């Protein structure tokens, strides 16, 4: 019986780490990290992410769902447009850490996102104001 209660205690302790691992799994994808980097500069619609990352809408939506299920992004509908933003501003700090760590290891860091960059061919209000 003592062994069983030790096992239960260990299980309880590891739940937090399992939660943490699930969060890292959601982030452990190059396109999802790129989405987080883009959203680090503010809200963006799906069409903007699609144009900026040169990926098809279903693919972008799939990655956004994974980030949303992990609680990392929040969506907002405005008419026909769906906008996404980071749920917590400090998610961006993780990317700053990744940049620094890649440099420390002498490896290519993720490219820095230009918050002012307009995406050619993007129909979103930011890139194509009327
Ligand atoms: Zn755009």
**Where are the chain's structural domains?**
19-104
- How do the residues of the chain divide into helix, strand and coil, expressed in percent and rounded to 5? 55, 10, 35
Q: How far is the CA of 81 from the centre of ligand 1 (A)?
A: 12
Q: How far is the CA of 79 from the centre of ligand 1 (A)?
A: 16
Structure confidence by residue, pLDDT tens digits, 31-84: 999 999 999 989 999 999 999 999 999 999 999 999 999 999 999 999 989 999
Q: Please give the pLDDT value at position 98.
A: 93
Q: Please give the pLDDT value at position 112.
A: 82
Beta carbons of 75 and 68 less than 8 angstroms apart: yes
Element (DSSP H or E) covering residue 95: helix 91-104
Beta carbons of 39 and 85 less than 8 angstroms apart: yes
Q: How far is the CA of 127 from the centre of ligand 1 (A)?
A: 4
Edge-to-edge order in the sheet of strand 81-86: 44-45, 81-86, 73-78
Q: How far is the CA of 8 from the centre of ligand 1 (A)?
A: 50
Query: Measured between alpha carbons, how far is 30 from 130 in angstroms, rounded to an integer?
Result: 33
Mean pLDDT, to the nearest integer, of 88-112? Answer: 92
Q: How far is the CA of 47 from the centre of ligand 1 (A)?
A: 7
Q: How far is the CA of 119 from the centre of ligand 1 (A)?
A: 5
What is the phi-psi region of residue 57: left when phi exceeds 0, alpha when psi lies from -120 to 50, beta otherwise? alpha
Beta carbons of 40 and 49 less than 8 angstroms apart: no
CATH of 19-104, one of 1.10.10.10, 3.30.530.20, 3.50.50.60, 1.10.1380.10: 1.10.10.10
Q: How far is the CA of 84 from the centre of ligand 1 (A)?
A: 12
């Amino acid at each position: 019986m003592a062994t069983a209660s030790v096992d239960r205690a260990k299980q309880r302790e590891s739940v937090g780490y399992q939660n943490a691992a699930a969060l890292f799994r959601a982030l452990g994808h190059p396109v999802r990290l790129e989405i987080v980097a883009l959203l680090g500069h503010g809200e963006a619609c799906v069409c903007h992410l699609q144009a900026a990352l040169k990926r098809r809408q279903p693919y972008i939506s799939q990655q956004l769902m994974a980030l949303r299920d992990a609680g990392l992004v929040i969506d907002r509908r405005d008419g026909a447009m769906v906008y996404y933003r980071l749920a917590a501003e400090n998610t961006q700090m993780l990317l700053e850490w990744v940049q620094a760590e890649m440099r420390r290891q002498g490896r290519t860091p993720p490219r820095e996102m230009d918050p002012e960059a307009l995406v050619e061919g993007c129909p979103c209000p930011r890139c194509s104001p009327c």
